[in-house]
Amino acid sequence: MIKAHKITQPAAVSLSKTPTGIKGLDEITGGGLPQGRPTLVCGGTGCGKTLLAMEFLVRGATQFDEPGVFMSFEEKFGELSKNFKSLGFDLNELVNQNRIAIDYVHIEPSEIEEAGEYDLEGLIIRLGYAIDAIGAKRVALDTIEVLFSGLTNENILRSELRRLFRFLKDKGVTAIITGEQGERTFTRFGLEEYVADCVIFLNHTVDHQVATRRLRIVKYRGSAHGTNEYPFLIDQQGFSIMPLSSLGLDHPASTERISTGIARLDAMLDGKGYYRGSSILVTGTAGTGKSSLAAHFVDAACRRGERCLYFAFEESQKQIIRNMRSIGIDLGQWIDQGLLQFQNSRTTIYGLEMHLVVMHRMIEDFKPDIVVVDPISNLVAAASKAEVKSMLSRMIDYLKIKQITAFCTDLTATGGTLDQNSTDISSLMDTWLLLQVLETSGERNRGLYLLKSRGMPHSNQVREFILSDSGAQLRDVYIGSGLVLTGSSRVAQEAHDKALALECQQEIERKQREIERKKTLIEAQIIALRTQFELEKEDLDRLISREQLRVETFAFDNLAMSNLRQADEQIEGLTDQGVPL
Instruction: Report d(CA 251, CA 399) in Å as an integer.
Output: 9
Instruction: Report d(CA 500, CA 508) in Å as an integer.
Output: 12
The number of residues in the chain equals 581
Q: Which of 74, 229, 315, 387 is catalytic?
A: 74
Instruction: Report d(CA 27, CA 244) in Å as an integer.
Output: 10
Amino acid at 188: R
Instruction: Report d(CA 130, CA 144) in Å as an integer.
Output: 17
Q: Say whether 183 is catalytic.
A: no
The residues, any chain, with a CB within 8 Å of residue 386's CB and separated by 6 or more, are none
Q: Show the DSSP H helices in 280-371 as ranges.
A: 290-303, 317-325, 332-336, 352-366
CA dihedral 122, 128, 134, 137 (to 10 degrees): 140
**H or E segment at 103?**
strand 100-104
Q: Which of 27, 314, 315, 443 is catalytic?
A: 314
For strand 174-180 and strand 138-142, is the pairing parallel, antiparallel, or unpaired? parallel
What is the C-alpha R_g of the chain? Answer: 48
Strand partners for 99: none
Strand partners for 471: 468
Instruction: Report d(CA 140, CA 34) in Å as an integer.
Output: 14
Long-range Cβ pairs for the range 570-573 (8 Å, 24+): none
Q: Say whether 74 is catalytic.
A: yes
Cβ-based burial of 257 (10 A; exposed 0-12, middle 13-18, buried ≥19): middle
**Helix/strand/coil for 274:** strand
Active site residues: 74, 314
